[in-house]
Amino acid sequence: MINIVIADDQSLIRMALRTLIADEEDLRLAAEATDGDQAWELIREIRPDVALLDIRMPGLDGLEVLRRISRDSNLDGTRVVMMTTFEIDSYIFEALSNGAAGFVMKDTDPAEILKAVRLAAAGDSLLSPDVTRKVIDAYAEGRTGPNRPHPRLGELTEREAEILRWVATGLTNDEIGAHLFISPATVRTHVGKLLSKLGARDRAGLVAIAYRSGLDIPEP
């Protein structure tokens, strides 16, 4: 059973999410919050598997709640899916850098929301939902300013650097393996080494590093 906390100041959004989750046998709504302060208290108390957070909320915003989750070792098992709109894609990279597992549009297909929650809870292929790729692409296309290469990029092997670029596309291990003609297990091993060498919390962090470093991201 995947325990979920949702946080949004709009009652209609909370009602829609509540109804969506109630229809799924493997999902359980543990609590819902109307602002960031309440969300943080509930998350600390419940330690849910997944927190669905609106970026803009009264009090603490979703990004600050995300930062606190990322810094709290007691919440290592809690993954965060941000609820956002394309109008605020300037926040996307900051959210990725702080460990967001994915993004969903508030008006997206309900199946995509459920898919994002389950992927986040599984701790693997966190950036697979198509909506997340679109958000990352939208941010990358509008990005300005100099690149900021990660200081440990030079420690990567040629294969690890290649895997990092492919991880940034949002593809799963299976999909990356198919492109490179290697097994998903081999991709998984390389991803683990990347997380260790670059100090990233998860795949989302690797995506942020790849884009910030100005790497040449392949077309999936």
For 195-208, what is each residue's pLDDT tens digit?
999 988 777 778 87
Higher-pLDDT residue of 65 and 127 is 65
Question: Which has the minimum average pLDDT: 98-102, 147-151, 163-167?
Answer: 98-102
Rounded distance between C-alpha atoms, residue 171 and residue 177, angstroms: 10
What is the domain class of 153-212 according to CATH?
Answer: mainly alpha
Task: Pull the structure tokens for residue 143.
Answer: 């990005």
Q: Are 77 and 31 in contact (CB under 8 A)?
A: no
Helices (H), the chain: 11-22, 36-46, 62-71, 92-97, 110-122, 130-142, 158-167, 173-180, 184-198, 203-212
Burial readout 195-210 (b: 16 or more C-beta within 10 A, e: otherwise): bebbebebbbbbbbbb
The percent of residues above 70 in pLDDT, for the chain, comes to: 86
What per-residue confidence (pLDDT) applies to 17?
A: 95
Indicate if the pLDDT at residue 128 is higher than 50.
no
Domain 153-212 in the same topology as domain 2-142:
no
Highest CATH level, class, for 2-142 = alpha beta
Contact (Cβ atoms closer than 8 angstroms) between residue 156 and residue 197:
yes
Q: Where are the domains of the chain?
A: 2-142, 153-212
Amino acid identity of residue 212, one-letter, is: R
Q: Any idea what DSSP says for residue 199?
A: T
